[in-house]
Amino acid sequence: MVVIGGGLLGLEAAYGLAKAGARVTLLHLMDRLMERQLDQRAALMLKRAVEAKGIAVRLQAQTARIAGSGRVEAVELRDGTTIAADAVVVAVGIRANIGLARAAGLEVGRGIVVDDHLETSTAGVHAIGECAEHRGCCYGLVEPAYEQAQLLARRLAGERASYPGSVLATNLKVSGVNVFSAGDFLAATDEAEEIVFSDPAVGIYKKLIIAHDRLVGAVLFGDTADGLWYLDLIRAGSSVAHIRDDLVFGRALATRVAA
């Protein structure tokens, strides 16, 4: 089996197939797995964990074509490599269908461009969900769609509400491989600080990003028990200065010390 795509769905598909007894090769175009959700270090740990489950991982693999006569027989890469396959699973993300919006004269980019009121370039016409592009971002996830729907409903009911964008969170839990990320975990500004805790012997890695005494991003590998707590702190946007020294050790210690 060949799985094309090293994101959440591709990894889950690859693991499910391997668990069922198939020999699986996972192909990913980018230089690391889950590149939108993980930094280099966490992605490397994930790759090693996936390979330990018997899944062959090939990064920077550009698929040229699926070959076969009447059925799938192989996947050919642009570098000339051929990988035998009885079946292929493609999990490479989504693309907004903007044809109708373009034909209607709305401004489009990767998606249908909307402002902070979720209104398109034409007054009175709104767009939400996977087709919408807000501040240059097409989320392609269900939770931002729910948040956009709630915001738009409030505006249509007469409230003066604005959509600031969504704080994204990712949670991968595949048979002992636990990964969590949220917020701006790749922040590289002068104001951003990294707090890192790593214990390779037990497969734990945590990175927190703090800017102006606020938690703005988090990446967790191995121990993800406090992921939702970190997400709440990111979304709240309040100061974590009083628990900064203990923040990376988790909620139980940080809140006990603060109390």
pLDDT tens-digit map of 8-27: 899 999 999 999 999 999 99
pLDDT tens-digit map of 123-136: 999 999 999 999 99
Q: Write down which residue in 126, 156, 186 finishes a domain.
A: 156
Instruction: For residues 79 and 137, state if they share a domain.
Output: no
In this structure, what CATH number is given to the domain that contains residue 72?
Answer: 3.50.50.60
Percent of the chain scoring above 90 in pLDDT: 83
Mean pLDDT of the chain: 93
Is it the case that residue 258 has pLDDT exceeding 80? no
DSSP state of 243: G
pLDDT tens-digit map of 191-203: 889 999 999 889 9
User: How many domains, the chain?
Assistant: 3
Measured in Å, how far apart are the chain's first and last C-alpha atoms? 53
- Domain range enclosing 253: 175-258
pLDDT at site 152: 97
Is it the case that residue 190 has pLDDT exceeding 80? no
User: In Å, how far are 8, 13, 49, 90 from 194, measured between CA atoms?
Assistant: 25, 33, 24, 35
Distance from C-alpha of 48 to C-alpha of 54, rounded to nearest angstrom: 10
Does some domain include residue 192?
yes
pLDDT tens-digit map of 93-127: 888 999 999 999 999 999 999 999 999 999 999 99
Q: What is the value of pTM for the model shown? A: 0.85
pLDDT at site 173: 80
In this structure, what CATH number is given to the domain that contains residue 225?
Answer: 3.30.390.30
Q: Write down which residue in 90, 115, 137 finishes a domain.
A: 90
Instruction: For residues 187 and 249, state if they share a domain.
Output: yes
pLDDT tens-digit map of 143-159: 999 999 999 999 999 99
Q: Which residue has the tokens 């969170």?
A: 169
Is it the case that residue 185 has pLDDT exceeding 80? yes
pLDDT at site 256: 80
Does some domain include residue 223?
yes
Does some domain include residue 137?
yes
**What is the maximum alpha-carbon separation in the chain?**
68
Distance from C-alpha of 121 to C-alpha of 125, rounded to nearest angstrom: 8
Instruction: For residues 147 and 184, state if they share a domain.
Output: no
The whole-number average pLDDT for the span 34-39 is 91
Judged by DSSP in three states, 228 sits in helix
Q: What is the DSSP string of 100-147?
A: HHHHTT--BSSSEEE-TTSB-SSTT-B--GGGEEETTB---SHHHHHH
